[in-house]
Structure 1
């Protein structure tokens, strides 16, 4: 799950932020610049959910042959280079839209549309993976109830709550953040006790061992990119930030470094406390087996309650976000307006778009956690690659910056970031590429139809200053 828990909250806050930005454009007043670096970092960390590490804990542990912490190190290094690129672009182009906006500015509407299209794949898969994880974990506790019942029930509940309104959700999610932090402290303490009472363990094995599979490590690191979705969220607060050109890049880098370090710590403690990854009964719910080993039934129940609640909250906010993205695309003519560009007269919410997302989320009944996770990483790594390219094009091409310092900051560093993201991108599974490239092909065909073979201007979402 959990980019899950508050990546969801974050998406909801992001949707609210976009609405606020849109309202601000109708007024000559500007929002007060009250946010400093600490506030930005705390805001960003709310997106980088602590329990994200348990979403693919068993899956990536198996893929990397017991080297999940090492895979997180590889992913973190890659993300730091990409975070640098996001920071440079956020400071230079303070607009909502993230990678879509940067690619559009650097390479034009056609490329921007395709980057936005692949990001849409991420947004559609995030609620889907939430429902899937709810089904997996609830089925572990209630084996007599089919997993499909939990998935369909969650989809229906989220749809209803999204239609009638989700004002209470942000408060619930902030509470969940605090509970997650408390849980991690308890988990680490219980793990230390378990390690001290158990047989001798290797403290270096989670990072390196004789049977280390380098290709598996890369594949696992590529999957873990989903854990870092949202580190650029602070860029949406540029209008409320003091000295945004200085503070935004620093905040993005700090959020990435701090969250990545936490992921590594939690993964490392888990691997040292329970190194027998080959005994996982079910890789999708391996985190539950870890909790039972470390803290018994009590810790396992505590974890499941927080995790499932977080998944449901994430599904609510993620679906709210993607339905509003689809609504914006319908309103601007990027998608059929009669279906996506309308809201309910009674509730004022994009009911049709929410219903479409719910119907697509039924794919969770058939898809595997492995494929769902890697599809999100496919979209993320594609977008990250274009952000790094946008830095080079924007600063060295469009702005014409030259000199050793400019070539280092806007040439070499983003080029390394591009190479690393492509390196991980090519480490994804063949099935992931088949689905991802099919999605891209569909987007290209749709763009050809919209533009009548590129004879008409490429439709674009309206950009608003963040």
Structure 2
């Protein structure tokens, strides 16, 4: 039977744009106030530490993308390098991340815009955004690429305007009155533990760098393109987050004077650019939510596609649209699941995401060790550093962050994980049979 295959059309820039859209570059504004309180004003320092942590895992994703250029991402990597049982459970955990990220975006969109336009109920905003995202993803990668380019450029334009106006105000005597100031990175009067606490929160701003690997089967020369894209997304995203938070601090150095920490960025933006910039931010928020929901839905649909095509989920999930060559069944299913955003709370939905993400991150770091250091015997001095020490550091740092998640994340995540284990038990007839495996043929590196 002929295996379903996707069309290869993506180059480096479109893949990077998908990652930026998933990551949502403007998310730095929505988290700034809370991060400032947790880090005692050292938000840039927390972003720098978070960037360092995430680079280890981004490196591991890049290494596995060379070995297993498949749409399954973390699921495919662990399946081929560790075992199909582990691969299934990692895929299950990744679904928890990808399935609920669109829901968070819809919830935030409904909350934010119903507050801005009280006459329109939140469910209208949620349903409208959900329908728009679904149509774009069904139409396929080319349309989504155009949308991502617009979203990323619009977000970057707003960020540049904000930085420019902030610099003008600071040089005019506002805030700290100086452009060069180390306090956003580290204040010697404060404990470094506050920087660490901020980093634990802000690592979640980087979620999305890994989404690029889900498009490996639609990428031209994925073994070269995907590793580059993952590192570029992580580095550029981190640089933008640090820069925006640096100027935000220098414009408004006393984080204790925010009227509302959740809306701190709105206060800062209004003080820098007045109502005009605040209105522009509303537009940026619209495209940011759209981009993140679109990219996360696209990534989730491709993980489901890989698992369905391999037989680890029913074949229903492994089908492509005859015209658009997109996993339409999965896209529509995710849209239906996302309707739960009409009823669930933001706190409950957000609790699912973090657990799944760090399970996947830890597993991919271990996959590098299993594939290169153990199976391929890359044990020279260079190989030991690249394929044992670096991924080990990444796994340990990710485990540390997983253990520091709140109790809701750990409880709800464990329940989801247990459900996956039960399904795997029946799929393998009590673990007596091996689960269906990913077959890449010539695509897999030897």
2:145 corresponds to which residue? 170
1:5 corresponds to which residue? none
Q: Which of residues 166, 176, 185 is equivalent to 1:200?
A: 176
Matches within 5 A, 1:37-436: 40=12, 43-44=15-16, 47-48=19-20, 49-159=24-134, 168-195=143-170, 196-200=172-176, 203-209=181-187, 212=190, 217-232=195-210, 233=212, 236=216, 240-241=220-221, 249=227, 252-337=230-315, 340=317, 353-365=330-342, 369=346, 372-373=349-350, 375-436=352-413
1:19 corresponds to which residue? 6
Contact 1:375 1:432 in 2 (8 A): yes
1:380: how far off? 2.2
Contact 2:79 2:85 in 1 (8 A): yes
Residue 449, structure 1, aligned to residue 436, structure 2: no
Change (3 A) 1:324 1:261: closer
Q: Distance in 2 between matches of 1:256 and 1:321?
A: 17
Contact 1:222 1:425 in 2 (8 A): no
Count the aligned residue pairs.
432
Q: Distance in 1 between matches of 2:106 and 2:166?
A: 29
Change (3 A) 1:422 1:86: same
Change (3 A) 1:408 1:375: same
3-state DSSP of counterpart to 1:170: helix
Under a length normalisation based on structure 1, what TM-score does the superposition of the two structures give?
0.80
Contact 2:72 2:306 in 1 (8 A): no
1:461: how far off? 4.9
Deviations 1:15-47 (A, max 9, x none): xxx7215xxxxxxxxx9xxx9xxx747843652
Q: Distance in 1 between matches of 2:218 and 2:42?
A: 38
3-state DSSP of counterpart to 2:253: coil
3-state DSSP of counterpart to 2:78: helix
**Which has the higher mean CA deviation after the structures are superposed, 119-128 or 362-371?**
362-371
1:126: how far off? 1.9
3-state DSSP of counterpart to 1:56: helix
Unaligned runs of 5+ in 2: none
CA RMSD of aligned residues (A): 3.5
1:237: how far off? 7.7
1:287: how far off? 2.8
1:336: how far off? 3.9
Q: Distance in 1 between matches of 2:381 and 2:136?
A: 54
Under a length normalisation based on structure 2, what TM-score does the superposition of the two structures give?
0.83
Change (3 A) 1:259 1:200: closer
1:98: how far off? 2.5
Unaligned runs of 5+ in 1: 1-17, 22-30
Change (3 A) 1:148 1:60: farther
Q: Distance in 2 between matches of 1:358 and 1:250?
A: 31
Q: Distance in 2 between matches of 1:312 and 1:248?
A: 23
Deviations 1:3-25 (A, max 9, x none): xxxxxxxxxxxxxxx7215xxxx
Change (3 A) 1:178 1:209: same
Q: Distance in 2 between matches of 1:90 and 1:346?
A: 28
Contact 2:72 2:302 in 1 (8 A): no
Contact 1:226 1:376 in 2 (8 A): no
3-state DSSP of counterpart to 1:20: coil
